[in-house]
């Protein structure tokens, strides 16, 4: 999403989150960001810095499912401000979402 993004920079950044639970890929055409934005009701936009929570066993098929809950760090006006959190508030918000999903 940044002007300097390329395969080399993405590969370098991917090393920060080395885990079997994390799937990473380079998407220069922003296809994933576009379909994720659509799944949260923002057609013709591109989602990034977005945290999506799905029910266990949910599969992405032709179109991604609508997440159970989500949060974002986007300061763009298109993203729902009720889902916005930044810095320490983001950590708190993500924990709240996880706790609510665990309880249900």
Give tens-digit pLDDT for 4-57: 888 898 888 888 888 888 778 889 999 999 999 999 989 999 998 899 999 989
> Could you tell me if residue 59 is inside a domain?
yes
> Could you tell me if residue 89 is inside a domain?
yes
Residues 6 or more apart whose CB falls under 8 angstroms from that of 46 comprise 1, 30, 33, 34, 37
Q: Is the pLDDT of residue 1 over 80?
A: no
Number of domains observed in the structure of the chain? 1
> Could you tell me if residue 30 is inside a domain?
yes
> Could you tell me if residue 1 is inside a domain?
no
Q: What domain range is 13 assigned to?
A: 7-103
């Amino acid at each position: 999403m940044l002007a300097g993004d390329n395969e080399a920079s993405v590969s370098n950044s991917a090393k920060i989150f080395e885990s079997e639970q994390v799937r990473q890929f380079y998407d220069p055409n922003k296809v994933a960001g576009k379909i994720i934005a659509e799944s949260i009701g923002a057609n013709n936009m591109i989602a990034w810095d977005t945290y999506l929570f799905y029910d266990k066993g949910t599969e992405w098929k032709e179109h991604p499912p609508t997440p159970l809950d989500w949060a974002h760090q986007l300061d763009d006006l298109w993203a729902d401000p009720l889902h916005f959190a930044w810095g320490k508030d983001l950590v708190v918000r993500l924990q709240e979402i996880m706790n609510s999903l665990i309880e249900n």
